[in-house]
Amino acid sequence: MASSPEIKITVYGKTDVGLMREHNEDNFLVVDFASAQKPSPEASLDFSLGEKGALFLVCDGMGGAAAGEVASTMAVESISSAVSKAGPLSRERFARRLRRSIEDANESIFTQSRDNQSERGMGTTCTAVGLVDEALLIGQIGDSRCYVLRGGHLSQTTKDQSLAWQLIEAGAMTLEEAKGFEHANIILQALGVQEKVEVVLSQVSLRRGDVILVCSDGLHGPVSDEEIKSILLEEPDVRKACDRLITCANEHEGPDNITVVLARFDGPGLPEPVAEDEVKFLAYDPGQDPEDPEPERPPLPTEKVTGETAPADGMLSTAPELVVTNESAADANPAAASAAPTSSSAPPVSEARPLLAFVLVTLLAALAGALFLVSQRGKIPDRSFEGPSLAAQTRMAPPLTASPLTEHPQMLVAPDHPADDAGVPR
């Protein structure tokens, strides 16, 4: 696959502990796979896009103690290693590889969390941005974000997998109201917290002069989009812009770890932006390749997660429910179903005779019972003078006041891990 060598990229990344946390659980990665180069803390990385592509990663760990740092480090190392081993790929196959690498990272973190008591409940968000041509491919789990600055406008190209974002999209609150929402820290997905995740893939067609920002919520939480845009417009140098963004977050009390990756795109391999360009979230489905050496994993046979009708972007609903599917033998084996007799078909003669005899015996027994009751009715004394019948007494009895809910209250079991875990307040 031949990718354009005329796409020029200047990129820099930085992470900061912030002012409120004792240690930094965030992690990031910037790598040019063609040269295996990474930016140094002192300088940005400048390179031309090669056929193996490039990858930018931001992971925001959670889980308390050092567990969040373990999860975010595992995610960065696992995803970058899997993608780098793929070799030159088309856009579709690169996207499939990126998606699979995120799923594999989830399984690795989940297994380690399950098997190690000290790391129980750890997890991490993940926003992975990769490209092998003029299209930016974004794989997301959680609420770390990707923005594009183009023509003086800052656009968010990811959707937070959080309770607050679901309420915003439903029209239940505004972006400003979400800033003060008491459950704004609840996210719906994170790597390592559940056995399976649904990776949300999206894409952005790049233009010359685009600036890409990938960041954790330590930046986009306390710092408004307008402040972010102002800094990016004022500071063309990606390294200095990263420093200013982190300083701005700390000026807003630095409530969380802060991670920023900034990349500027240029070169004749990209078209010039035009007024008709609209930058927004655009879901991307690379499909499944039957020739792919690592085929899609089969779904679990007995359960699936459903809820409200899933939007086209693949976001999870806020209240998923577990549905146990129990297919009948006819569904599982259509040939057997077509061979089996239907309810309207007549039974064989050898089966009809015993059935007819059984019906006749049942009718005779019922008739004998009725005759016996009639013969005994005259022997039953009239007790109407003794008071209400049992049926009348039953109707007169006061209703029961006990409630099944009070006798058997439903128990809500809190997760067995700190409130910093994913799927629960972070």
3-state SS class at 381: coil
Question: What is the reported pLDDT for 130?
Answer: 97
**Cα distance between residue 233 and residue 151, in whole Å:** 10
**Cα distance between residue 98 and residue 120, in whole Å:** 26
- Domain membership flag for residue 82: yes
Element housing 114 (H / E): helix 91-115
Which of 10 and 395 is assigned the larger pLDDT? 10
Question: What is the reported pLDDT for 177?
Answer: 85
- Residue 6: CB atoms within 10 A of its CB come to 13
For tokens 């402040």, the residue is 227
Share of the chain above pLDDT 90, in %: 56
Question: What is the reported pLDDT for 361?
Answer: 60
In the chain, how many domains are there?
Answer: 1
What residue spans of 151-236 are helical by DSSP H?
163-169, 175-179, 217-220, 225-234
Question: What is the reported pLDDT for 394?
Answer: 33
Question: What is the reported pLDDT for 11?
Answer: 97
> Mean pLDDT across the stretch 341-363?
49
> Across the chain, which distance is largest between two alpha carbons, in Å?
110
pLDDT at residue 326 greater than cutoff 90: no
Question: What is the reported pLDDT for 277?
Answer: 87
- Domain membership flag for residue 192: yes
Question: What is the reported pLDDT for 339?
Answer: 37
- Domain membership flag for residue 165: no
pLDDT at residue 303 greater than cutoff 90: no
- Domain membership flag for residue 113: yes
Lowest mean pLDDT among 208-212, 276-280, 407-411: 407-411
**Cα distance between residue 62 and residue 72, in whole Å:** 8
Lowest mean pLDDT among 18-27, 193-202, 279-288, 318-327: 318-327
CATH of the domain at 86: 3.60.40.10
- Domain membership flag for residue 122: yes
pLDDT at residue 248 greater than cutoff 70: yes
- Domain membership flag for residue 324: no
Lowest mean pLDDT among 244-248, 295-299, 313-317: 313-317
pLDDT, one tens digit per residue, over 70-99 is 999 999 999 999 999 887 899 999 999 999
The region that residue 142 occupies, defined by phi over 0 for left and psi between -120 and 50 for alpha, beta otherwise, is left
Question: What is the reported pLDDT for 319?
Answer: 34
- 114-to-63, 107, 126, 277 alpha-carbon distances in Å: 13, 10, 20, 46
Which of 49-58 are b and which e, b meaning 16 or more Cβ less than 10 Å from the residue's Cβ? bbbbbbbbbb
pLDDT, one tens digit per residue, over 156-209 is 999 999 999 999 999 999 888 887 788 888 999 999 999 999 999 999 999 999
pLDDT, one tens digit per residue, over 269-298 is 999 999 888 899 999 999 986 655 554 444
Nearest to 310 by CA among 128, 166, 109, 118: 166
pTM higher than 0.85: no
Question: What is the reported pLDDT for 357?
Answer: 56
**Cα distance between residue 250 and residue 255, in whole Å:** 8
The answer to whether 250 and 19 are in contact (CB under 8 A) is yes
> Mean pLDDT across the stretch 47-75?
92
Question: What is the reported pLDDT for 290?
Answer: 63
3-state SS class at 258: strand
**Cα distance between residue 70 and residue 164, in whole Å:** 27
Nearest to 245 by CA among 271, 219, 206, 209: 219
Q: How far apart are the first and last CA of the chain?
A: 42
Which of 421 and 353 is assigned the larger pLDDT? 353
**Cα distance between residue 154 and residue 233, in whole Å:** 10
Q: Which burial class, exposed, middle or buried, applies to 365 when counting CB atoms under 10 A from its CB (0-12, 13-18, 19+)?
A: exposed
pLDDT at residue 129 greater than cutoff 50: yes
**Cα distance between residue 155 and residue 152, in whole Å:** 10
Ranges assigned E (strand) in 72-134: 123-124, 126-131
- Residue 167: CB atoms within 10 A of its CB come to 18
Band (pLDDT 50/70/90 cuts) for residue 307 is very low
pLDDT at residue 306 greater than cutoff 70: no
For tokens 């807003």, the residue is 252
- Domain membership flag for residue 392: no
pLDDT at residue 31 greater than cutoff 60: yes
- Domain membership flag for residue 219: yes
**Cα distance between residue 246 and residue 254, in whole Å:** 9
pLDDT, one tens digit per residue, over 104-113 is 999 999 999 9
Q: Domain range for residue 240? A: 8-158+188-293
Residue 163's contacts (CB-CB under 8 Å, 6 or more residues apart) are 183, 184, 186, 187, 188, 318
